[in-house]
Amino acid sequence: MSRRFTPKVVTANRLREGDVVYLTADDRWTPHHHEAELIEDEAHAQMRLLHGSAQRLLVVGAYLADAKPGPKGPEPTHFREAFRTRGPSNYNHGKQADLVN
């Protein structure tokens, strides 16, 4: 039996600003990880990645990142992806500052 598929989200950076974004189920790019579509099926993940990658005027470097369900929505499982949801740890810059309001 093949290994169980780890749930994924589609993530990328915005073309103009470089900000980290996630693909939602209703085809928006959101800065909030918990609003991303949590994809539990491998074939569907590939379709969503293709859909995301095709939006060349909006995003750069789309890829599938591991995630898990949480109380508010999908949560990252790896520390790299956790950092991408916030910004750097040495300054209050990036999303941890920009998304407060």
Partner 1 sequence: MYSYSDFDEAFVRARVAQFTDQVNRRLDGSLTEDEFRPLRLMNGLYLQLHAYMLRVAIPYGTISPRQMRQLAMIADTWDKGYGHFTTRQNIQFNWPKLPDVPAILGALADVEMHAIQTSGNTVRNVTADHFAGAAADEIADPRPYAELLRQWSTDHPEFQFLPRKFKIAITGAPNDRAVTRAHDIGLRMVRNAAGEPGFEVIVGGGLGRTPMVGMTVRDFLPEADLLPYVEAVLSVYNVLGRRDNKYKARIKITLHETGKDAITRMIEDRFAELRPQFGGNDQTLLADIREAFAAPAFRTAPVDAYDAFYKADPVFRAWADTNLSQHRNPDYAIVTVSIKAHGATPGDATSDQMRLLADLAETYGHSDLRISHEQNVILPHVHKSDLPTVHAALVKAGLGTANVGLLSDIIACPGMDYCALATARSIPVAQELATHFEALKLEHEIGPLKIKISGCINACGHHHVGHIGILGLDRAGVENYQITLGGDGTEDAVIGEKTGPGFAYDAVIPAIERILRAYLGLRLEPSETFLQAFRRVGMDPFKTALYGGEGAQDAA
Q: Which residues in 36-75 contact partner 1 (CB under 8 A)?
A: 56-57, 60-61
B/e letters for 40-78, b = 16+ CB within 10 Å, e = fewer, are eeeeebeebbeebeeeeeebeebebbebeeeeebbbbee
Strand 29-30 to 59-68 pairing: unpaired
For position 17 contacting partner 1 by CB under 8 A, the verdict is: yes
- One residue of 1, 4, 43, 79 binding partner 1 per CB under 8 A: 79
Q: How far is the CB of 2 from partner 1 (least distance, A)?
A: 21
- One residue of 19, 35, 37, 75 binding partner 1 per CB under 8 A: 19
- One residue of 44, 51, 72, 78 binding partner 1 per CB under 8 A: 78
